[in-house]
Amino acid sequence: MSELFNRFKQIKTFIFDVDGVLTDGGINALDSGECFRTFYIHDAYAIQHAIRAGFRVAIISAANTEGVRKWLTILAVKDLFMGGPNDQKINAYLGYLTRDSLKEEEVLYMGDDIPDYEILRRPALVSTCPADAADEVQAICDYVSPKTGGRGAVRDVVEHVMKAQGLWFNK
């Protein structure tokens, strides 16, 4: 864990998938045809705390619903890459790095399933996933949170990074 702790000290940007990471992966379908997702307030708090502390937070997701977009905007997440095909997440990721001149070793990415695999296998970034991520994803990640998607996995990695940097609630 000490090597990972040192890598956590370098993180300046968090990038998260939505379904299975910020949510538990479930979609509730109403009779009207509308669908909704449930987010975990502890994850939301950690994202807001990270942004206030100066971290960049971005979302890369094939999902592109107005409700999700509004929720992320309420959290003050500005970099939203939503709505592209699952197999094009890597293009959104590389485009974001290039557009904002980000160093990959300063990026932590959390994904949970095969569409995230191509990003997660990049050796320079810190690759993370929830406890209930696909087996193939868990096998390649630097850190597997003991928390599940939509139930604290995001809070877990944000807390680890901010604690490593001395930025998580110093009393």
Supply the pLDDT for residue 107. 98
Q: What is the mean pLDDT of residues 156-162?
A: 98
Judge whether 171 lies within some domain.
no
- Amino acid 171: pLDDT: 57
For residue 50, tell me if it sits in a domain: yes
Give the annotated binding-site residues: 17, 19, 112
CA–CA dist 33, 83 (Å, integer): 19
Question: Average pLDDT of 14-24?
Answer: 96
Domain assignment of residue 80, yes or no: yes
Q: Do residues 157 and 128 lie in contact, with contact meaning Cβ atoms separated by under 8 Å? A: yes
Annotated binding site for Mg(2+): 17, 112
Tens of pLDDT, residues 100-135: 999 999 999 999 999 999 999 999 999 999 999 999
Residue 159 counted as domain residue: yes
Residue stretches of the annotated binding site for substrate: 19
Q: Is residue 135 part of a domain?
A: yes
Domain range for 142: 3-165
Q: Examine residue 170 and state whether it is found in any structural domain, yes or no.
A: no
* % the chain with pLDDT above 90: 82
The packing angle between helices 153-164 and 41-52, to 10°, is: 30
* CATH number, residue 69: 3.40.50.1000
Q: Is residue 7 part of a domain?
A: yes
Per-residue model confidence as pLDDT tens digits over 40-64: 999 999 999 999 999 999 999 988 8
Q: Beta-strand (E) ranges in 33-122?
A: 35-36, 56-61, 79-82, 107-110
The verdict on residue 89 lying in a domain is yes
Q: How many domains does the chain have?
A: 1
Q: Which amino acid is at 140?
A: I
Q: Give the per-residue pLDDT at 1.
A: 60
How does pLDDT run across 143-153, given as a tens digit for each residue? 999 999 999 99
